[in-house]
Amino acid sequence: MSEKIIEIHIETDDVNESRRDFLKNVGIAGAATLVASPVSVEASADSANPDAETTVAELYQGHFVLMSDKDKKKAIERLEKRYTAKYGKNTTVSDAPPLEGVLFGYALDISKCIGCRRCVHACVQENNQSRDNPVIQWIQVMKIPKGNFSFSADKLNKGYPESSKVGDYGIQVGGNAYTPVGGLSTEEAQSYYSQDEMVPDKNYFYVPVQCQQCEKPPCVKACPVRATFRDPNGVVVIDYNWCIGCRMCQLACPYGARRFNWGEPNLPPEEMNPKTHYFGNRPRMRGVMEKCTFCVQRTREGRNPACLEACPVGARKFGNLLDPESDVRKILAAKKVFRFKEEMSTYPKFFYYIG
Amino acid sequence: MYKINSQSVPSTIIVILALCAVLAGGLALVGGLDIHKTKKSAAEEQAKTQGEQPVANCYESRAIYAAVTRVENAVPQYGYPNIKCSKTTGGVLWYGDPFDGTIPMGEMPEVNDGTHGDFANAVVRPREPHLTYFNMGPNGCVTCHNGKTVPFPKDKKPRLIAMHKDIVEDSIQLKHGRGAMWCLDCHSATNRNKLIDRQGNEISFNQPQRLCGTCHGEVYIDWRAGIHGKRIGTWATGGKKRWWVCTECHNPHTVQINRFNQIKPEPAPPPPRGMKNADYERVGHGVH
C-alpha cells in the first residue's frame, strides 16, 4: 500500500512539475512576444521611427479614465505624434469631456429610409475604419420584406392558441416567436443586397442598425476589464488601449453592433480623418474592438453625427433627450416609436419611428 | 423655348423657334450645340457667383437637381474638402463644412402651431442655381416667358402644353394632386421666375416651403418643428443648422408616384469571411 501511494505521489509530482514548466515557458514566450512584437514591427518598418518608444509606452498605459491629467496629456501627445508620423497629417486627438446636462438620443424613420447605404460609407469616411482586409463598417442596413413589421389590428389578434376539447393550453398574445406583433422581425432580412439594384424597392423596407447606446448595455456587463463603459452622456465608448480583445462584448451585444480588428487595420493616409477623439475615431490597432460612438469627436463639440449629415432623405435625427425642444424629444412625443429588440431589456437610446 | 427635344419635335420647328428666339431675344440659339453652349456659360456665371462649378455627377438628395462640387482644403485647419462624394454613385457622403454655399433662410411667417420654428440661425443652400431652365438665360425663365416670345396664358384653364416634357410628360397628367392641379396653381402666370400661392403672393424658388405648406400643413408643421426633413450642422436647439427645403428631396412634378425617386445604393459590404456570396440570405432559412 505504502509503496503504491509513494509511486502515485511521484507521478503526480512529475505531472505538476512538467505542467508548471510548460506554463512557465509559455508565459515567458508570450510575454516576450507581447513586449517585443510592437517594437520589432515598428523598428523593422523604419529603424529611425520616432514611435517605437511611444508604442511601448502605450502598451503600459493605464485606463484612460483613471489616469491623472498629466498622464492623459502625455498619452494624447504620444498618440498625436505617432499618428502624425504614420499618416503624414497633422492629427489632433481630443479628450474633450462629456457635456453637462446632456443625454444623447437618436431617432430613425424607417418609413423614410431608402436603403442607399450612404450613412454606412459616411461613417467610414468619418471614423477611420479599416478599409480593406478587414473591411469594417459600423452600420448595417437590413432590407426586410414588408409585413415583418406590424402594428396592425388584424395581426394583433393572431397567435392565440386554438381551443380544443381538453381546454386552452398556454397564453400567448399577439403573434408568436416567428412573427411577433408590434415589433420588428428580421426574418429574411438581407444585409448584402446588391449595389446594382435601385433603391427603394417597393416590396421592402430598410432598417439601418448600429450601436443602440443602451441604457443597460450588455457589452459593458460582459467586458472583463471595463475597457468599454457608458459615458455620462449615455454613449458607450471604448478605451482601445485598455481593450484586451477578448470579444466578450461582441457576443453579449444583441444588435451585432461591435466590430473586431482581426488584422492590422488598412487606412490609406489620404483618406484618414485627422480630427479625432481618444474614445472616438482615432486609428485603432489590431486586436481591439470598435463600434459606433455617435461620432463622439463631433457631438461633444456640438455637431451632428456623420451618418445623419449624409442621409439624403432626412430619416435620421439626433439630439439631447433632456431637452424637451430637441428634435428627438418631439419625435418621441408625436410619432409612433419603437426600440429594436425591446424584449432584451437593454433600453436603447436609439429609437425607430414611423414619420 | 429651351425645352426643345430634337428627337420628338421636327427639326423645322426647331429652326423656326430658334429664329424666333434670335429675333426676339437677340440670343445666339441656332441649334442644339448653341443651346449647350448657353447652358454652359450660364453654369459658368453661376460658378463665378458661387465660387464653384457644378458637376453633374455629385449630388445631395436628388440626382441632377442638386449638383455640388468638391472644393479642396475648404477647412484649412484639418485639410478638409467641403464635401466628399461617393466614387460609385456620386452621392455626397460627408461634409467638411456643413454650411458651404448657404444663405440665411430669412424670416418665416409665424404659424399658430406651438412649434414657433427655430429659424434664427437657419441657413439654406439656394435652389435657384440648381434649376436647369432658370439658369439658361440671363434673366432666368423670364428670358423666354416674357409675354412676347411665349405669350402669357389668357386664363387659368388647363390645356395641353408640349413644352418642358422632361419635367412633366403631360401637363394634364401631372403627377401631383391626382388631377386636381396644374402648372399655374404653383407657377406664376406672368412672372415665371417666381412661384405663386393661392392668395397671389409671389414666392421665390428658394423658399418652396412657403408654397407647399399651404396645402401640406401637417408636414409643414413637422418640418418647422424639426421632425420632418433633413437638417445638418449643430444638434443643439437654437444652434446654427442648414435646413433642406421641400424640393431638395422631393420632385413636386412626380411626387405622386414616388416620394423619393429611386437611386443606386452604395456598395454592399463584403460577404462574411469564408463565403463567396451572400445568396444564403435570399433563400428562406429557419422555421416559418
Report domain extents, chain A: 1-49, 104-149+184-354
CB pair distance less than 8 Å for B264 and A198: yes
Which residue from A197, A320, A327 is facing B226, i.e. has the nearest CB? A327
Which residue from B84, B235, B287 is facing A318, i.e. has the nearest CB? B235
Nearest to A182 by CA among A154, A161, A205, A204: A154
**B233 at the A interface (CB within 8 A)?**
yes
Q: Give the residue on A whose Cα is nearest the Cα of B280.
A: A190
Strands B92-95, B83-85: pairing is antiparallel
- Name the amino acid, one letter, at A261: N
A288 contacts: CB under 8 Å, gap ≥ 6: A238, A240, A243, A245, A260, A261
| Cell 454655399, located at residue | B101
Q: Angle B217-225/A327-334 helices, nearest 10 degrees? A: 140
DSSP tag of A350: E
Nearest to B173 by CA among B249, B253, B247, B246: B253
Distance in Å, alpha carbon of A327 to nearest chain B alpha carbon? 6
Which residue from A116, A193, A326 is facing B237, i.e. has the nearest CB? A326
CB pair distance less than 8 Å for B239 and A302: yes
For residues B192 and B142, the answer to whether their CB atoms sit within 8 Å is: yes
- pLDDT tens digits for range A20-65: 454 455 444 444 444 444 444 444 444 456 566 677 888 889 999 9
Nearest to B2 by CA among B16, B19, B17: B17
Q: Give the residue on A whose Cα is nearest the Cα of B229.
A: A314
- Count of domains forming chain B: 1
Put simply, the chain B residues between 59 and 118 with a CB less than 8 A from any chain A CB are 60-61, 78-79, 84, 86, 88-89, 91-95, 98, 118
CB pair distance less than 8 Å for B265 and A116: yes
Q: Angle A51-59/A2-45 helices, nearest 10 degrees? A: 150
For residues B135 and B50, the answer to whether their CB atoms sit within 8 Å is: no
For residues A260 and A289, the answer to whether their CB atoms sit within 8 Å is: yes
Q: Give A65-74's long-range contacts (Cβ < 8 A, gap of 24+).
A: A65/A229, A65/A239
How far is CA A93 from each of CA A56, A104, A261, rounded to the nearest angstrom? Answer: 19, 22, 20
Largest CA distance in chain A: 85
For residues A143 and A115, the answer to whether their CB atoms sit within 8 Å is: yes
Decide: helix, strand or coil at residue B58.
coil
Distance CA A258, CA A275 (A): 22
CB pair distance less than 8 Å for B265 and A323: no
- Residue B138: inside a domain: no
Q: Which parts of chain A fold into alpha helices (H)?
A: 2-45, 51-59, 69-87, 118-127, 153-156, 218-222, 248-252, 296-299, 306-310, 327-334
Put simply, the chain A residues between 149 and 178 with a CB less than 8 A from any chain B CB are 178
- Residue B283: inside a domain: no
Determine the pLDDT at residue A58.
87
Q: Give A146-152's long-range contacts (Cβ < 8 A, gap of 24+).
A: A146/A203, A146/A204, A146/A205, A148/A179, A148/A184, A148/A185, A148/A186, A148/A187, A148/A188, A148/A189, A149/A110, A149/A183, A149/A184, A149/A185, A149/A205, A150/A181, A150/A182, A151/A181, A151/A182, A151/A336
Distance in Å, alpha carbon of B131 to nearest chain A alpha carbon? 19
Distance in Å, alpha carbon of A302 to nearest chain B alpha carbon? 5
**B6 at the A interface (CB within 8 A)?**
no
Distance in Å, alpha carbon of B75 to nearest chain A alpha carbon? 12
Residues of A with Cβ-Cβ distance to B86 under 8 angstroms: 118, 121
For residues A235 and A213, the answer to whether their CB atoms sit within 8 Å is: yes
Distance in Å, alpha carbon of A178 to nearest chain B alpha carbon? 7
- Residue B22: inside a domain: no
How far is CA B50 from each of CA A300, A331, B69, B91, B141, rounded to the nearest angstrom? Answer: 31, 36, 11, 20, 20
Q: Which of A116, A276, A353 to mutate to test the interface with B (most CBs of B within 10 A)?
A: A116
Distance CA A151, CA B281 (A): 25
- Residue B198: inside a domain: no
B218 contacts: CB under 8 Å, gap ≥ 6: none
DSSP labels, A292-323: --S-HHHHTTTBPPHHHHH-TT--EEEEETT-
Phi, psi for residue A85 in degrees, rounded to 5 = -70, -40
Nearest to A277 by CA among A291, A302, A259, A298: A298
Phi, psi for residue B59 in degrees, rounded to 5 = -140, 165
Put simply, the chain A residues between 280 and 299 with a CB less than 8 A from any chain B CB are 299
**A335 at the B interface (CB within 8 A)?**
yes
DSSP tag of B51: T
Phi, psi for residue B123 in degrees, rounded to 5 = -125, 155
Distance CA B188, CA B171 (A): 16
Distance CA A63, CA A229 (A): 11
| Cell 402644353, located at residue | B161
How far is CA B161 from each of CA B150, B153, B184, rounded to the nearest angstrom? Answer: 12, 11, 12
Indicate the length of chain B as a whole number: 288
**A312 at the B interface (CB within 8 A)?**
yes
What's the grid cell of residue A257? 453592433
**B226 at the A interface (CB within 8 A)?**
yes
CB pair distance less than 8 Å for A318 and B94: no
Strands A92-94, A275-277: pairing is parallel
A220 contacts: CB under 8 Å, gap ≥ 6: A226, A228, A229, A230, A236, A249
What's the grid cell of residue A105? 438620443
- Residue B59: inside a domain: yes
Determine the pLDDT at residue A4.
45
Residues of B with Cβ-Cβ distance to A310 under 8 angstroms: 91-94
Strands B231-233, B202-204: pairing is unpaired
Name the stretches of chain A with pLDDT < 50. Answer: 1-20, 22-23, 26-47, 171-173
Determine the pLDDT at residue A162.
59
Decide: helix, strand or coil at residue A250.
helix
Query: A270: burial class by Cβ within 10 Å (0-12, 13-18, 19+)?
Result: exposed
**B162 at the A interface (CB within 8 A)?**
no
Which domain covers residue B81, as residue numbers?
53-100
- Residue B28: inside a domain: no
Distance CA A135, CA A137 (A): 7
Distance in Å, alpha carbon of B264 to nearest chain A alpha carbon? 5
**B46 at the A interface (CB within 8 A)?**
no
Q: Which of B230, B250, B288 to mutate to test the interface with A (most CBs of A within 10 A)?
A: B230
Q: Which of B234, B235, B273 to mutate to test the interface with A (most CBs of A within 10 A)?
A: B235
Put simply, the chain A residues between 8 and 47 with a CB less than 8 A from any chain B CB are none
Determine the pLDDT at residue A176.
57
- Residue B88: inside a domain: yes
Q: Which parts of B128-240 fold into alpha helices (H)?
A: 209-215, 217-225
- Residue B81: inside a domain: yes
How far is CA B97 from each of CA A217, B82, B94, B187, B274, rounded to the nearest angstrom? Answer: 34, 5, 9, 34, 40
Distance in Å, alpha carbon of B89 to nearest chain A alpha carbon? 9
Nearest to A240 by CA among A98, A41, A59: A59
CB pair distance less than 8 Å for A327 and B227: yes
CB pair distance less than 8 Å for A192 and B278: yes
State whether ipTM is beyond 0.90: no
CB pair distance less than 8 Å for A122 and B234: no
Determine the pLDDT at residue A159.
57
**Averaged confidence pLDDT in chain B:** 78
> Does the A104-149+184-354 domain belong in CATH 3.40.50.300?
no
Decide: helix, strand or coil at residue A158.
coil
Name the stretches of chain B with pLDDT < 70. Answer: 1-56, 66, 112-117, 284-288
How far is CA B158 from each of CA B31, B180, B182, B183, rounded to the nearest angstrom? Answer: 31, 10, 7, 8
For residues B66 and B60, the answer to whether their CB atoms sit within 8 Å is: yes
Residues of B with Cβ-Cβ distance to A277 under 8 angstroms: none
